[in-house]
A and B are shown apart, each in its own frame.
Chain A
């Protein structure tokens, strides 16, 4: 079977460092040995060292962590025959290591084929030996017998032939490797006079040994890597996916997909500057690159969005979760040894941007603060408003609704600059009747009111982009999307439609948790406090809204606002209604402000005030009040516990008051009755029959609206509607 035939001379070819041949071949090799290597600082990462054989020779390799599962599940084991599909050959101090990014396991179990010997390198024995003496007493010439001894990684493995002078210097300038033990990755590169060859790339064992290493400054290690030096060599470009902390001397060729600003920050260590940008290469790998202080100053002007650069010798580290918005566990930190070289001819193979779009319906399941790319049709946009931030600064905020093929819509919040720039463009488009496609990269999921998405420093907007997804969206929208109502996952429906009875507010201790509870209660307005139903409010506009703070009389007929520190001639009158609402379970006090107040009273606060104070028309006032009292409403309440002088009180504010729609109400009641029959639990405390009785009665009452409204031929005018229903059908026994 051809599978068991190992690619002849594969090792020689790989070791030969023939770049062209390397990228074409997919060698079939046998795994002569596998060892687990533990790293010191990142204790969770395991890396597997693989000794590859082509039947004649063996070669060292490292398995990319993505493939670790193959070893763990024993698909990949000693003796397995594998075909390397994606790999990189790197030369570290004249030794070659094959970094295996992707491979196919052709045969899981197989006896060793041939008697492979470690591939010799035509290295300078003496220097290499002393240089690489990892463990004392380990003779350098001794080839690693079969197994790979992690501690002797520096030496034990047989010296390899450095393919050519070039690669040697390339590898020699590879002190980009990190010392796993040293947390500060930058320091490793600051040419420590001692270990010039950070051979710690593969294991902690090595590091220990290193300390004893006599500094070998001379032979093949120029102290710093210079651009000139680099320019002579064709740098070995590796895919971003192959970047790992253990290996230095890498170069990547990638396009800048996002460029951050040069930002200042202050932390416990003092002030600093940070600058970061995102890179995308031709394989689709993405990674974020960050630099601080001096390095940031140096690179910030050099990096241009959309251009391709060759970047080398940064430090590859694990990415910090809260700043990471790319699908890569690692990020690059550039330092004074890193180089950034612009590529003058654009590399067409590198895409300009890469998205991982999620349908809006999936956002519902995402945790907050997750980064997400979305694309959708903008169905509406609201004007900018000013928001005060926690640190006292003001910023702009704008919201828009995005709708996509999943039938869901989500609220997208634009912050800061997005409001003015992109926000304006979108507004204009919507005003002219267009519904543009908007793609957002790196939006952040927020779970404030249902799920919504907000922009961050790293977000990018693409209006009417040219992607296939955009085309599909447009076709969908023009077809059915325009008319399909999208269910909004923002302002979560679950929050608002929770129906409760008045007694439940107290029983279930609503509002006592951190967040306020939003509930809907169907109740009757039984009392309104007449003394202070409105207050004098400041009409001065702050941004988009009115100040609305209480103003006091100035003495000379003008009104003064403390917050705005302004004086106005005429103040605004706004409702502040203290009312009692009642349902079949109990009664409670609620407060209604301007908007809901107007809905309830049916008359503006100003007019009502004039009626009472100026015209002193008590009769009319009383009449109005009486007409409003004892009407049934569907109140949307915000219940929250507040502390007043050491006393905690649960206050309910009316957010919205709607006249009860009898039909929906009846349906609701009938539904709850049906639910009752199915399960005995139910949310209402009283026993079944009583509830059903009340429900039925109310349903019947609801069915005859004409009978309920005021005095009419058949009803009793002085009986409240609810009771009417029940009284008629009450039966004793």
Chain B
């Protein structure tokens, strides 16, 4: 298992703090642009742009892992389908905890 490049849990809020770094987040897919990007809602309700080509059909919730381009976009390498049901509130709290008190557990 490759742990050399850990990706931080972020939501839209936290994304801006880690621009340029490897991050991961879950978005709710709103639409896919043919130009190679997917627009989705982050778990805290803001819109994000995910650049890249998804490997296959996307479910409602998708986890993307990649480098943060800007405050609102991620260049995704890995796409994971999370299914159609997700408790976004819980994920949000996890993001906050992962960046706050329990950062030492993740990075």
Interface centre among B81, B87, B107 (most CB of A within 10 A): B87
Q: Which of B11-19, B28-36, B66-74, B91-99 contacts A (4 or more CB under 8 A)?
A: B91-99
Q: In the complex where A696-B94, A696-B98, A731-B105 touch, is A705 in contact with B1 (Cβ < 8 A)?
A: no
Q: How far is the CA of A727 from the CA of B85 in the complex (A)?
A: 23
Whose C-beta in chain A lies nearest to the C-beta of B93?
Answer: A670
Q: How far is the CA of A662 from the CA of B63 in the complex (A)?
A: 18
Interchain CB contact under 8 A, A703 and B91: yes
Interchain CB contact under 8 A, A705 and B83: yes
Interchain CB contact under 8 A, A706 and B106: no
Q: Of the candidates A666, A673, A702, which one forms a contact with B97 in the assembled complex, judged by CB atoms under 8 Å apart? A: A673
Residues of B within 8 A of A673 (CB): 97
Q: How far is the CA of A663 from the CA of B87 in the complex (A)?
A: 6
Whose C-beta in chain A lies nearest to the C-beta of B86?
Answer: A703
How far in angstroms is the closest Cβ of chain B from A250?
Answer: 71
Q: How far is the CA of A552 from the CA of B19 in the complex (A)?
A: 74
Q: How far is the CA of A564 from the CA of B74 in the complex (A)?
A: 73
Q: How far is the CA of A662 from the CA of B89 in the complex (A)?
A: 13
Whose C-beta in chain B lies nearest to the C-beta of A712?
Answer: B81
Q: How far is the CA of A702 from the CA of B91 in the complex (A)?
A: 10
Task: Decide yes or no whether A5 CB sits under 8 A from chain B.
Answer: no
Interchain CB contact under 8 A, B101 and A677: yes
Q: Of the candidates A663, A670, A693, which one forms a contact with B105 in the assembled complex, judged by CB atoms under 8 Å apart? A: A693
Residues of A within 8 A of B45 (CB): none
Residues of B within 8 A of A696 (CB): 94, 97-98, 102, 105
How far in angstroms is the closest Cβ of chain A from B4?
Answer: 11
Q: How far is the CA of A78 from the CA of B91 in the complex (A)?
A: 77
Instruction: Please classify how large the interface on chain A is, using the bins under 10, 10 to 19, 20 to 34, 35 or more.
Output: 20 to 34
- A interface, CB within 8 angstroms of B: 662-663, 666-667, 670, 673, 677, 689, 692-693, 696, 699-700, 702-707, 714, 727-729, 731
Q: How far is the CA of A700 from the CA of B86 in the complex (A)?
A: 11
Residues of B within 8 A of A731 (CB): 3, 6, 105-107
Residues of A within 8 A of B87 (CB): 662-663, 666-667, 703
Q: In the complex where A692-B105, A727-B1, A731-B106 touch, is A705 in contact with B90 (Cβ < 8 A)?
A: no
User: Assuming A689-B104, A692-B101, A702-B90, what are 13 further A-B pairs, CB within 8 angstroms?
Assistant: A666-B90, A670-B90, A689-B102, A692-B102, A696-B97, A699-B90, A703-B87, A703-B94, A704-B82, A706-B81, A706-B82, A714-B80, A731-B3
Interchain CB contact under 8 A, B97 and A703: no
How far in angstroms is the closest Cβ of chain B from A679?
Answer: 15
Whose C-beta in chain B lies nearest to the C-beta of A689?
Answer: B105
Q: Of the candidates A689, A692, A693, A705, which one forms a contact with B85 in the assembled complex, judged by CB atoms under 8 Å apart? A: A705
Residues of A within 8 A of B59 (CB): 706
Residues of B within 8 A of A677 (CB): 101
Whose C-beta in chain B lies nearest to the C-beta of A702?
Answer: B90
Whose C-beta in chain B lies nearest to the C-beta of A714?
Answer: B80
Interchain CB contact under 8 A, A729 and B90: no
Interchain CB contact under 8 A, B94 and A700: yes
How far in angstroms is the closest Cβ of chain A from B99?
Answer: 12
Q: How far is the CA of A40 from the CA of B1 in the complex (A)?
A: 90
Interchain CB contact under 8 A, B90 and A663: yes
The 4 A-B residue pairs with the shortest CB-CB distance in the complex, in nearest-first order: A706-B83, A666-B90, A663-B87, A670-B93
Residues of A within 8 A of B90 (CB): 663, 666-667, 670, 699, 702-703
Whose C-beta in chain B lies nearest to the C-beta of A728?
Answer: B1
> Could you write out 26 A-B pairs with CB less than 8 Å apart?
A662-B87, A663-B87, A663-B90, A666-B87, A667-B87, A667-B90, A689-B104, A689-B105, A692-B105, A693-B102, A693-B105, A699-B90, A699-B94, A700-B94, A702-B90, A703-B86, A704-B63, A704-B82, A704-B83, A705-B83, A706-B82, A727-B1, A728-B1, A731-B6, A731-B106, A731-B107
Whose C-beta in chain B lies nearest to the C-beta of A732?
Answer: B3
How far in angstroms is the closest Cβ of chain A from B90?
Answer: 4
